[in-house]
Each structure stands twice: as C-alpha cells, then as structure tokens.
Amino acid sequence: MTNKSRRTAMWLVLLAAAGTFALTMGTRQTMGLFLSPLNTSTGLGLASISLAFAFGQLWWGLTQPFAGAMADKVGAGRVLFAGALLVALGTFITPYMTTTWGLILAIGVLSAGGAGMAGPAVLMAATTRLIPPERRGLATGIVNAGGSFGQFVMAPIAATLMVGLGWANAMQVMGLLVLLCLPAAFLLKGNSLQAAPAGHKVVGTREAIATALRNRSYVLLGLGFFVCGFHVAFLATHLPGVIAACGLPTQWAGWSLAMIGLFNIVGSVAMGWAVGRWRMKSLLSLVYATRAIAVVIFLLAPKTGPVMLVFAAVMGLTFLSTVPPTAGLVAKFFGPANMATLFGIVMLTHQIGGFLGAWLGGKVFEATGAYDWVWYIDIVLAVGAALIHLPIREARLPARTAAAQ
C-alpha cells in the first residue's frame, strides 16, 4: 500500500469514527433541551424526568464494558450497527412515553444503551487498532472532537426543529438522523485479534480485567473519570435549566450547548496533539483544575447572556478533552488488544458520576429552587480529580503484568 493509500485509509477510518460519535453524542447531548417540554407534557415532575436522564447516563456507562468485550470478540462493526439502530429507536419512541418507567425504557435503556454500544469505548478501540501508533494521540483527539462537532451542530438543529415542528416531532427527527452513521460500521469492522502484536497471545477478557484492577494507576484513572462524568452530565442535562433559572430566554440555552460543542472540538484536537508531547496525567490534572476555577468565576460573575456563552466556551475546552489522555493511558498501560473492554470499564466509572450529576441536579433544584449546591459539589470534585491524577505512574507496565505487549 502506498503512502497516499495509507493516508486515505486513515482519514476514512477517522471520518467514520468521528461521524458516528457526532451523531450519537450530538443527539444525546441535545436531550437537555427536551427536559422542560417533557415535564410540561407528562406532568411527571423534574425529579422523575431527571431520573430517566440519570439512568441513561448510568446505562450508557454500564453498556460500554460489555459492548467493548463484544467488539473485541465479534468485531466493532456489528456492535456499532446495532447501537445506532437502538439510539434511533429509543429517541423516536420517547414522545409516546407518559410514565417515568416509559421514559426510563426509551431514554435510559434503548437510546443510552445504543449510544454506549456506538460510543467511545468501541470507537476509540477501533481507531487505536486501525491507526499507526505514532498517530493515535491525534487520531483519538479527532474522534473525540467528532462528538463535540455533533453537539455544536445538533443543538441548534434541535432548537430550530422544536420551534418549527414542536418538541415531539423534533425529537423523532433527531432519532432518524442517527441512522446516517450506519455505513460507518462497515469501515470499522474487525476485532482485537488484529490488534495483537505478531507472535503475542491475546490475553482473555477476564485476565485482562483482573490485571487492570490490580493496577493502582488504572484505579486512580477511573476515579478521576468519575468526576468528569459528574461534571459533563450535570451540564448536558441541566445547563438549559440553569440558564432559565437566571431569567434568560431559551435561545441562550441552545447556543450555550452549541458553544460547549464548538469549543470542545478545539479542546479535543488540542489535547490529542498534546498527549504526544506532555505527560498525560499532568494534562488531566490541568483540565480538572481549570474546571474548578471556571465554575468559581462563573458563580461570582453576573448571569448575563454573554457571560453564559463565555462560560460555555471555557467548559467546552475541558468538556471531553479528558478522553484522549484517558484512552491514551489505558492503551499505554495495557496495549490495544483489550482496549475496548478496559476503556469501557473506565467509561463505566465516568457514567456512574454522570448518573449522580444528572440526578442530583434535579433533586437539588426541587429541594432548594437553585443549582448552587451542585456547583459547590462540582468544585470540590474537580479539585480532588486534579490531585488524584498526580500519583499515577505513566510508564509502560512490565511485560509480565501487561495484558498485551
């Protein structure tokens, strides 16, 4: 294969992975716009609807280790195809759900589970397997930026559709748009057997997980990612509510979500470039410290439209920029052979945090009439995450303990 052919193949892989992430993540991250209309339509109350969203955060994470294990065995393409279909189905039927359990099924099980199957664990592993090692950092940054681009594009589209078609029809159109990523499944096919270095045995899933859980750095990485999940899910679910509570018009919510997506593209690509030049654990500590400082400044600042956009831009720079160095550390510790499974477990900790961020946002607001206490918790967690990454040992594991070398 010529160099030109290799470059073309690499960009096709990146387009397929980033495009899939754009459609699945973009659709999920716009769901906060539908929270208030769902509440008005069903009369279930903000806490009940937040529970459905929170369960979706948790189920998205629970799905990823299993989706990763399936991808490692039967191939990423099949898992991605099934995942996209489930996202479309769950999103399409949500307007027909009038009970808490119905919303949990549509939003929390079908849509979130499908997004987990077509989510970062499988996409990052497929990219890592198909991209040369020297380009993996930037490649994971580009794939991660795809999710951000999806949010930037899909949030204004969803807001416009809500105005023109009503919230129910808008949500169904969003579900159908996810089907555009189905062809990507054929470009990302393959499994972990193709990722094993020549002459090396692929370690079984159970052995790989046991090895990882005995590694202190891997555990610390997961704990830090828990904080990322809390922060991201709270913003994605409740930022429109935060803006409404400040007395600002609805359009500021759509544009704030779009700003998060736009600047996350910058943050993700920049982080993908940075992981090849600085220690990944240090970059993660910097991201979490930046979040803590930004939230403190936001709480002290006047709550105007421009302030919201600036805050959203800063949050966007750090929103999912944690993914490339986190995925990079998992690959550096254990190699690419069981990457989907092991990164999927880290994503599970992320989504446990996401469950708490989405659920507590609704509970705290109902109890106090404000989101202040959730912001305070977010600051403390971000500072803790900045500190917890410092003891991580970033050097490659010895051959006798690595899952694949």
Question: 3-state secondary structure string, the chain?
Answer: CCHHHHHHHHHHHHHHHHHHHHHHHHHHHCHHHHHHHHHHHHCCCHHHHHHHHHHHHHHHHHHHHHHHHHHHHHCHHHHHHHHHHHHHHHHHHHHHCCCHHHHHHHHHHHHHHHHHHCCHHHHHHHHHHHCCHHHHHHHHHHHHHHHHHHHHHHHHHHHHHHHHHCHHHHHHHHHHHHHHHCCHHHHCCCCHHHHCCCCCCCCCHHHHHHHHHCCHHHHHHHHHHHHHHHHHHHHHHHHHHHHHHCCCCHHHHHHHHHHHHHHHHHHHHHHHHHCCCCCHHHHHHHHHHHHHHHHHHHHHCCCCHHHHHHHHHHHHHHHCCCHHHHHHHHHHHHCCCCHHHHHHHHHHHHHHHHHHHHHHHHHHHHHHCCCHHHHHHHHHHHHHHHHHCCCCCCCCCCCCCCCCC
- Indicate whether 396 belongs to any domain: no
- Long-range pairs, 384-387, Cβ under 8 A, ≥24: 384/227, 385/223, 385/224, 385/227, 385/228, 385/284, 385/285, 385/288, 386/285, 386/286, 386/288, 386/289, 386/292, 387/285
Domain count, the chain: 1
pTM for the full model? Answer: 0.70
Q: Pick out the chain residues at pLDDT < 70.
A: 1-6, 133-134, 136-137, 190-204, 336-337, 395-405
Structural domain range at position 358:
12-189+208-388
3-class SS of residue 297? helix
- Indicate whether 73 belongs to any domain: yes
- Indicate whether 234 belongs to any domain: yes
**pLDDT value at residue 381:** 94
Tens of pLDDT, residues 232-256: 888 877 888 888 888 887 778 778 8
Q: How far apart are CA 70 and CA 341, in angstroms?
A: 8
- Indicate whether 395 belongs to any domain: no
Q: How far apart are CA 170 and CA 175, in angstroms?
A: 9
CA distances from 321 to 87, 124, 155, 201, 379 (A): 24, 14, 19, 33, 18
Q: What is the domain-level CATH number for residue 335?
A: 1.20.1250.20
Tens of pLDDT, residues 278-293: 888 889 999 999 999 9
Taking the CA atoms of 69, 129, 317 and 178 in sequence, report the sign of the dihedral they define.
negative
Burial of 278 per CB tally in 10 Å (0-12, 13-18, 19+): exposed
Q: How far apart are CA 13 and CA 123, in angstroms?
A: 10
- Indicate whether 297 belongs to any domain: yes
Cβ atoms of residues 253 and 239 within 8 Å: yes
- Indicate whether 112 belongs to any domain: yes
- Indicate whether 195 belongs to any domain: no
Tens of pLDDT, residues 59-96: 887 887 888 778 877 778 888 899 999 999 999 998 99
**pLDDT value at residue 397:** 38
Comparing C-alpha atoms, which of 149, 126, 24 is closest to residue 84? 24
Cβ atoms of residues 144 and 282 within 8 Å: no
What is the identity of the amino acid at 207?
E
Q: Which residues have CB under 8 Å from 256's CB, separation 6+?
A: 239, 240, 243, 308, 309, 311, 312
Q: How far apart are CA 383 and CA 183, in angstroms?
A: 42
- Indicate whether 319 belongs to any domain: yes
